Structure 1
């Protein structure tokens, strides 16, 4: 097998949640460029339409989208069944959709707790549960959870976010052991500071600069910086990588102290 063929996704079917922008859209485009049929999901149809059109530009593969609130269990189940039928299976699942609602412990409300837990963790399990039977039949599958550097280090007010992202890592390890005999790998990617809408809306200029300065490369990451890890884990190139976490943080947490 040639090196180039290791990354060839021709004939593969990929589902990427949160695919209308940011990291999800970048990964969807990369998978499509490598030959996969791709379906992206998000909550807003106009954003999905625009993203699907952009992803499909210059490509001949199949690009679909589904409007879905990943915090709605019934919607997640219905979307999963629909996409499995439409694409005739899902070979690669990228659980990218997520949210962050900072609250300190004593001010954490049950409603926010339930919302973030559902979207960041439970929905990932439910989607994986839907797609795994088909992957087992093919004896090939890739499940990638987008965790976060905040799963490994945190800040005040981020207990809920860090907790859900750390939970993905633990879940991936267990599922890797369960599914490895069927040719299915399960891994996490932990992005560091990536210049997407979510952190840009939460942080002030001083905080943004502080994050950049703490990285080894002295900059925020771009969405394209996540494409390499995703292609590795989503293709035959990563066939012997499972139950692990790729930390793509620009060297943010390799520093011990200043």
Structure 2
């Protein structure tokens, strides 16, 4: 046993079907946790994330939930909070992005991004977190962003939501730390995923991004594994309300 050992824990990872969420679920399973994966399009069985978790010797359950639907998110929170086996770790990773200049940014895009990336995160965390507070223990990890610190370009809704996640992390930590619940966030840097494909495909933007990263490369989803396990484990018992950048040194430039 080490402080990073998650044996016997139950982790919920939203946005688990691919990319960062899949890597987070795999890392938690390899550290010993059983996993419930949540995504709007997650296969009932046979998904790649399920294969990852089972290969680590842990159990996996798939749940479909559309984070753009407030009623679906409320129902998910009620169901998770009411389980006989309590949720020990909640990783709020589900998200979406819409790109358009601010002068042309549709209300529908703004509303969808704020719902999926911020409002749904609060709704789900309120339900699961209340059960953790009642038990006196639990770990909550949000996926923030470099745009929790910066403004970005042509993503006003995403930036607003991710700034909101940073604030929500601190607000919940202030209320729940004394009840044994750790609330923190990870801020991924430029990670090669579907969400950043438009940037990767733009030669000028990709070159500018790489020139700014001291590590000299785009990150991969597995670069988030260690931070996820750390914040979900007893090794982070006295860590509350932080937004931890995993960015190849971007913010240090």
Consecutive unaligned residues of structure 1, counting only runs of 5 or more, are none
User: Aligned partners of 2:112, 2:55: CA distance in 1, in Å?
Assistant: 38
Matches within 5 A, 1:105-120: 105-120=102-117
Matches within 5 A, 1:140-155: 140-155=137-152
1:36 corresponds to which of 33, 36, 57: 33
Whether the aligned pair in 2 keeps the contact of 1:37 and 1:87 (CA below 8 Å) is no
- TM-score, length basis structure 2: 0.93
How far did residue 87 of structure 1 move?
6.3
- TM-score, length basis structure 1: 0.91
1:170 corresponds to which of 167, 180, 201: 167
Give the direction of change, closer, same or farther, for the CA distance of 1:162–1:34 in structure 2 (3 Å limit): same
Deviations 1:86-119 (A, max 9, x none): 5622111111111111222221222111100000
SS in 2 for 1:32: helix
User: Aligned partners of 1:87, 1:75: CA distance in 2, in Å?
Assistant: 21
Residue in structure 1 matched with residue 124 of structure 2 by the alignment: 127
SS in 2 for 1:163: helix
2:6 corresponds to which of 6, 9, 12: 9
1:192 corresponds to which of 166, 181, 189: 189
User: Aligned partners of 1:48, 1:177: CA distance in 2, in Å?
Assistant: 39
* Equivalent pairs, count: 252
Residue in structure 1 matched with residue 24 of structure 2 by the alignment: 27
Whether the aligned pair in 2 keeps the contact of 1:121 and 1:165 (CA below 8 Å) is yes
SS in 1 for 2:129: helix
Which range is displaced more, 13-22 or 132-141?
Answer: 132-141
Residue in structure 1 matched with residue 156 of structure 2 by the alignment: 159
User: Aligned partners of 1:71, 1:252: CA distance in 2, in Å?
Assistant: 31
Whether the aligned pair in 2 keeps the contact of 1:145 and 1:168 (CA below 8 Å) is yes
Instruction: Please say if 1:231 is aligned against 2:225.
Output: no
Structure 1 segments, 4+ long, off by >6 Å, are: none
How far did residue 27 of structure 1 move?
0.9
